[in-house]
């Protein structure tokens, strides 16, 4: 008999890819979200439009019980979005998270996966571009990203409490900058790789593009296929503490733009806007525990993942008549 899985946030970037991943492995999947996937139909066996801020909708989403619940639904976006809006993001996500967790307890769930974020890590450890890779235990003493990071850290603890008090098996992954095709690439909620792919695709050879900050801030970026493999391996494991799911290859935003420009075959000039948000100065994932627990590490090089992502965004812009 096929395993039953629920994917919340199935209309979003990672959730949509995860539904496809699970279907390919023989799961029966129900997807729920406040919206349908933007770029292609969901392959879920059932897809329901539900606002998970409302508890009764979480009971509907989890009805029938599930072997595995993958909770990715969230109000989120790129650094420009999560630094500008704190009250709405925090309220929305606290409601979504607490409601779905309690509904899973009531309706019966074998295992519950929560998608946390590297934004939980203390800002005092991320003040230099040459940042020391962040280990899972570094999250405390806490000083997370305001709003988004704080509510993620709160939910990590709530998962722990439900495991301890109600014996609900929970798994928590801290994502580090997931990117790939079928993700938002404009409109204010896009992440850095997609935003730079769009800017460079729209630019002519020799044009100038805008870089937020001075370009020296550092990050690591994980391609979506590696993210899905990490999620699945963690869900099947016996490890219940938060675990980094990310790449440990750190690059500057300048270097990220240069890689994309090389893929595009374009020379670009950069104009730095220091008034725009850039987040912490440096962030990288320590993957020691991931390799130990999962017996695995990400396989897709940044250049390969960006090539796929850039070509997809370029093609979307071409279909829209915005480039020839």
Residue 70 known to be catalytic: no
Q: Residue 66, CB half-sphere, CA atoms under 13 Å: how many?
A: 28
58-to-15, 156, 253, 256 alpha-carbon distances in Å? 17, 19, 39, 39
Q: Which of 81, 148, 162, 179 is catalytic?
A: 148
CB atoms within 10 A of CB 237: 13
How far from the centroid of its chain's Cα atoms is residue 287's Cα? 17
Distance from C-alpha of 251 to C-alpha of 219, rounded to nearest angstrom: 6
Distance from C-alpha of 89 to C-alpha of 95, rounded to nearest angstrom: 10
What pairs with residue 66 in β-bridges? 109
Could you tell me the sign of the dihedral formed by the alpha carbons of 188, 311, 7, 111, in that order?
negative
Q: Helix-strand-coil percent breakdown of the chain, rounded to 5?
A: 40, 20, 40
**Tokens 């912490």 belong to which residue?**
280
Query: Between helices 253-264 and 192-202, what is the axis angle to 10°?
Result: 40
For residues 7 and 23, is the Cβ–Cβ distance under 8 A? no
Distance from C-alpha of 94 to C-alpha of 157, rounded to nearest angstrom: 12
Give the chain's radius of gyration (CA, Å). Answer: 19
Distance from C-alpha of 170 to C-alpha of 42, rounded to nearest angstrom: 26
For residues 301 and 247, is the Cβ–Cβ distance under 8 A? no
CB atoms within 10 A of CB 157: 12
Eight-class DSSP state of 155: H
Known catalytic residues are: 148
């Amino acid at each position: 008999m096929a395993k039953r899985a629920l994917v919340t946030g199935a209309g979003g970037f990672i959730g949509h890819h995860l539904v496809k991943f699970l279907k390919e492995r023989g799961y029966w999947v129900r997807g729920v979200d406040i919206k349908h996937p933007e770029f292609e139909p969901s392959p879920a066996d059932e897809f329901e439009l539900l606002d998970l801020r409302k508890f009764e909708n979480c009971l509907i989403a989890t009805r029938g019980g599930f072997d595995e619940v993958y909770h990715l639904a969230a109000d989120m976006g790129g650094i420009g979005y999560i630094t500008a809006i704190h009250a709405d993001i925090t309220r929305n996500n606290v409601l979504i998270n607490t409601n779905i967790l309690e509904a899973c307890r009531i309706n019966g769930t074998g295992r519950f996966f929560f998608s946390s974020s590297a934004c939980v890590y203390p800002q005092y450890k991320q003040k230099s571009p040459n940042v020391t890779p962040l280990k899972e235990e570094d999250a405390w003493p806490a000083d997370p990203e305001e709003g988004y990071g704080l509510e993620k850290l709160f939910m990590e603890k709530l998962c722990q409490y439900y495991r301890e008090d109600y014996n609900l098996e929970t798994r928590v992954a801290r994502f580090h900058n997931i990117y790939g095709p079928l993700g938002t690439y404009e409109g204010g909620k896009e992440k850095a790789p997609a935003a730079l792919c769009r800017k460079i695709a729209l630019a002519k050879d020799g044009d100038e593009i805008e870089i937020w900050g001075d370009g020296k801030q550092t990050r690591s970026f994980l391609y979506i296929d590696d993210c899905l493999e990490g999620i699945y391996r963690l869900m099947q494991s016996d490890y219940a503490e938060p675990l980094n799911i990310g790449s440990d290859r750190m690059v500057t935003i300048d270097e990220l733009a240069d890689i994309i420009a090389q893929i595009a075959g374009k020379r670009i000039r950069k104009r730095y806007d220091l008034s725009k948000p850039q987040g912490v100065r440096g962030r990288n994932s320590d993957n020691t525990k991931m390799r130990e627990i999962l017996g695995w590490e990400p396989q897709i090089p940044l250049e390969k993942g960006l090539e796929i992502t850039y070509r997809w965004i370029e093609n979307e812009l071409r279909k829209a008549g915005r480039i020839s």
